[in-house]
């Protein structure tokens, strides 16, 4: 959801970001457990293709989203330096 011109509920935004951060940390921990316990070859050979495909789609979407945020933060920082 994008906000457009309506006012932003900053408190809600901050709470949603905090909750997302906790969930992302949980996902990272779960991924690290798999990464440390199994080789890439084991994962590729034995994991369900659909499970891997969905995990990769999710990871790519997160990467795109946070890359956009990172780019906007850089623009904001550059503008503040001027």
d(CA 71, CA 67) in angstroms, rounded, equals 6
- What pLDDT was estimated at residue 31? 97
d(CA 17, CA 67) in angstroms, rounded, equals 16
- pLDDT tens-place values along the chain, 82 residues long: 555 678 999 999 999 999 999 999 999 999 999 999 999 999 999 999 999 999 999 999 999 999 999 999 999 999 999 8
Q: What is the pTM of this model?
A: 0.80
Across the chain, the runs of DSSP E, i.e. the strands, are none
Using DSSP's 3-state secondary structure scheme, residue 3 falls into coil
C-alpha of 20 from chain center: 9
d(CA 20, CA 66) in angstroms, rounded, equals 12
Domain ranges for the chain, please list them.
Answer: 10-47, 48-82
- What pLDDT was estimated at residue 5? 76
């Amino acid at each position: 959801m994008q906000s457009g011109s309506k006012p932003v509920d900053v408190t809600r935004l901050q709470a949603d970001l905090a909750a997302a951060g906790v969930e992302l940390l949980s996902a990272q921990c779960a991924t690290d457990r798999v990464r440390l316990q199994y080789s890439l070859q084991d994962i590729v050979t034995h994991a369900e293709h659909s499970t891997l495909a969905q995990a990769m789609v999710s990871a790519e979407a997160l990467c795109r989203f946070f890359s956009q945020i990172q780019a906007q933060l850089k623009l904001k920082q550059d503008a503040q330096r001027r």
